[in-house]
Chain A
């Protein structure tokens, strides 16, 4: 059973005014249209001359036509007000719209994060190869017994005394020319155990 909820006075009054406007406009359109059709009937006996009667009918029809148009425009304004009221106060559809938007945004965010994780896995493989190539090439300024950072990290797990294994690479730390890859080196410290930076 649909119970009439106690709306605030302003909302109740507003909705009643909408009803009244609707009834008035529809009545205006129908009445004016009916009267135009009636006026179109040509009568044999007129109180004034035919020309005068014709002028009067012409003017009346213009006014009634203008009334029909005014009532039509008032109905359009009513529909616009109803749309506005609906958007602001129709909670079920507002909730649904918010839920849909949240779902869309969450799906996009998960997609981005999933792609970033896949990218991270691919780039870590390439970065390992790049570092190997760099440190074993002649462009590296490290000493011969120095290990590339990647090797140093892998050796960490095998060494019984981590401090000795790391001291050699630390003494001959890469020169500033190895700058670009040095930025990637701390990234490995996140994946492995304690890195050399923690010992400095």
Chain B
């Protein structure tokens, strides 16, 4: 499940961390590519290297915070809540609407037949 439809900040934060890990690898590649050139652009090199280091530290801090939060919150018991009852009630309401629509269409058809006759 890549995305979660309901707002969940922590899952979004983890997705941002995933993107940042990709950016880390890209920065590392750019630095090494730049070093391999005859004439290196030192400013670009410094900038990319600083970005690489900052990203790595940021990712480590964020993931540590998430693991710390989970240590505080996890109970080891399974969650037993569900939205089944309200889903069932809603389904029955939609069935009632469908039934009413069916009956109304029958009445309309009958009226049209009477008018034609």
Contact = CB atoms under 8 A, between A and B. Distances in A.
Interface stretch (A14-22, A157-165, A191-199): A14-22
Interface residues of A, number: 60
Contact of A30 (B17, B22, B56, B66): B56
B51 interface: no
A168 interface: no
B14 A82 contact: yes
A2 B18 contact: no
A89 B71 CA distance: 10
B50 interface: no
A95 B83 CA distance: 10
A10 B11 CA distance: 23
A89 B75 contact: yes
Interface of A is mostly: helix
Interface in B69-96: 70-76, 78-79, 81-83, 86-87, 89-90, 92-94, 96
A84 B114 CA distance: 62
Nearest to B73: A90
A155 interface: no
A40 interface: yes
Given A79-B18, A83-B14, A15 B71 contact: yes
Contact of B32 (A65, A69, A85, A91): A65
A52 interface: no
A119 interface: yes
B74 A85 contact: yes
A8 B56 contact: no
A119 B6 contact: no
A83 B11 contact: yes
A93 B76 contact: no
B79 A93 contact: no
B18 A18 contact: no
Interface in A68-107: 68-69, 72, 75-76, 78-79, 82-83, 85-95, 97-98, 100-102, 105-106
A100 B25 CA distance: 38
A5 interface: yes
Q: Please provide the 9 A-B residue pairs with the shortest distance between their CB atoms, ordered closest to farther.
A: A8-B76, A112-B93, A180-B110, A105-B86, A109-B93, A105-B90, A89-B74, A101-B83, A102-B86
6 contacts: A19-B67, A86-B11, A90-B70, A93-B10, A105-B90, A119-B100
